[in-house]
Structure 1
Amino acid sequence: MTGTPVRLDLSSPSRGPRGKPPRHFVDLTPSERAAAVQALGQPAFRARQLATHYFTHLTVDPEAMTDLPAAARDTLAADLFPPLLTPARTLTADRGTTVKTLWHLFDGARVESVLMRYPDRATLCVSSQAGCGLACAFCATGQLGLTRNLSTAEIVEQVRRAARSLADGEVAGGATRLSNVVFMGMGEPLANYRSVLATVRLLVAAPPEGLGLSARNVTVSTVGLVPAMDRLADEGIPVTLALSLHAPDDELRSELVPVNTRWSVDEAIDSARRYFDKTGRRVSIEYALIRDVNDHAWRADLLGEKLAARGQGWVHCNPIPLNPVPGSRWTASDPAVEAEFVARLRAHGIPTTVRDTRGSEIDGACGQLAAVEDEAAFAPASEEER
């Protein structure tokens, strides 16, 4: 397996080896924003006006900031809203309702985000790291190794840009609002704890100091960093926690998810249960079904037994048909095997829903994000798929 060593210093700043991104409005506290505005010769209350433009109007365009003095707009925007993300490639699927964007960061690092529009919601899958250091065997991102953590502003900018695109009607179906954010893109969110938590706080803060999303519509995933899971439970923000388990037994899970050698299956599940106890939010168990690897009936029973042993009503299981990754020797389970796996979980009283794999034809589904530049790496979707 490839990848850099796991970095688990949860108190360290969210800066990687490539250096610090330019100072951005989002990374500043309200008092720091006021001070920055004053340093540019403007009264402190301009900071709140800028927050309104950014979080409510979703803009960093000085021409749109008509309530600011014309002579000050360009200076304020240039100093406080430096460009952090540059779109390098956009691919669409599902008749234009799934949009994957490859972003170049200020230092040449690359990440991807995926915007998915459904009839009743619009969900953005954001990246929290460029690459990933946890080296999960079946995940394209995990095979890249870790380049660096993203700053809070780099994560929030993915969200703002998606929300603005939806508001402007750029996604098929007409103008709408972003309703959900899932930290299921590139990276292990809880290995970049400080930036991810700061982002979550801004997502759920009321306008104009945040985007005003419901905490229930924000999902943070993890492969099982137990200390960080417990820390998140104490934050007082009832986001949904998604535990990527992928095997109920330590022998197999340690092969698929190497961090299992530090925190076992039972330790991860116990931490997930503690999260429910403290927040009241039902935990999601993510389980990529891999043909003849982890989809055996006895493993479904073992998973069901372990979850049910910790009580009812606290967990929901999401089996995910494995999405294809170039060069992988693994593939998705046979549909009949998948159905049996689901039936056995439900027989143990575990609510179970097979997860949608939207965007797989553009390498935009779970486990497929690799920030690839080469057009030839993408198999074109058929007209019917689009």
Structure 2
Amino acid sequence: MTETGNPSQPANVHEYTSSHIQVLQGHEAIRKRPGMYIGSTSERGLHQMVYEVVSYAVDEHLAGHADAIDVTLTADGGVRVADNGRGLPVEVREPGGKSAVERELTDLSSGSKPHTGYWVSGGLGGLGLCVVNALSNRLTVEVHRDGHRWTQEYENGTPVTPLARNEETDQHGTTIAFWPDANIFETTHHSFATLSERLQELAFLNEGLTISLTDERPERPVRFHHTNGLRAYVARLNPYPPSLVHSPAITFESENQDKTISVQVAMEWDTWSPGELRSFANSTRTHEGGTHEHGFRTALTDLVNEYARQQGRLSADDKDITAAAVHDGLTAIVSVKLAHPVFEGCTRTRLGHPEAGVYVQRVVREHLTRWFDRNPNEAASVIRHILDTPNRHRCR
């Protein structure tokens, strides 16, 4: 017979009942396993909290309702994100029920964002603000909407005040301030450099959007605004004009007939750098690539080989130029926006969306073929640069 409390002996299976199963709901589940939602509790996860709030403001821009986002690192360790969008909805569905703001900040939904109206959306697919709220020891929300200023406060993911309607106003937008829980995160000190890099990246990816970052720890403001988007991004990554194989960068964009997939590409070869491909899905960096990257690489490698043979730079007996040679010295940005993205992993670092890969491949072939035909001198320089790459003799 097994003695109670002896870990070396197997437990009586009849003692394991439904009462032993702990069901975690809402913010309890998030606080218990934060890594499942933001990847880690290190500095990377801390910054992911900021990105999740910013992504909601970016969604407002993509929907055509906001053109400015202000991010502030407060002196007391908090983060404040303000936008000039429509403002989070404040209505209550039924008497005594939660307001739309409170549902947004507390309901751990499994579908799309609780509020609708976005054809594409970044962040954690509807969980972002709820996750940030749950992992903060304090959060305040201020909404300018429906002719009034609305406010509410939370502690550890739970509302401590009701949504209050304040004075009248003709302004619109949402401001969320939060203070990450020091009992959850390894550090609560935000890196100005890291956040600055990501916010500038978002400004590159979303033309016409102005993003500012202010650090009150000491005060250190920066402002990002780019009207030529991805071309400016490539120019920043390729800072030495004498090394460019061609200029300006090749840029193109396209949207499918159903308006469920759009793609933007900027690319430029140079002799100075080894090259870099940065890919994004709904403005989120896909560090591990995915179908959109595969579609881009495949189309580009095939097209370069076809063009080189058409121009007599490769004979019928020559091996194909390798993908490594084609991408040597190439700096490229591939950004897709998807109505229904499919990611691999909770932090969305790899896109697993087959339709996106097929569409990117078709768009790249179409637009680059046109660019090669219209710019024969630059195209010849590109092929010459690629053929001079040491990797050219390797088979694919």
Using structure 2 for the length normalisation, give the TM-score: 0.25
- Higher-RCO chain (CA-CA 8 Å, sequence separation at least 6): 1
Kindly indicate which of the two structures has a greater share of residues assigned to strand. Answer: 2
Using structure 1 for the length normalisation, give the TM-score: 0.25
Q: Which has the larger radius of gyration?
A: 2
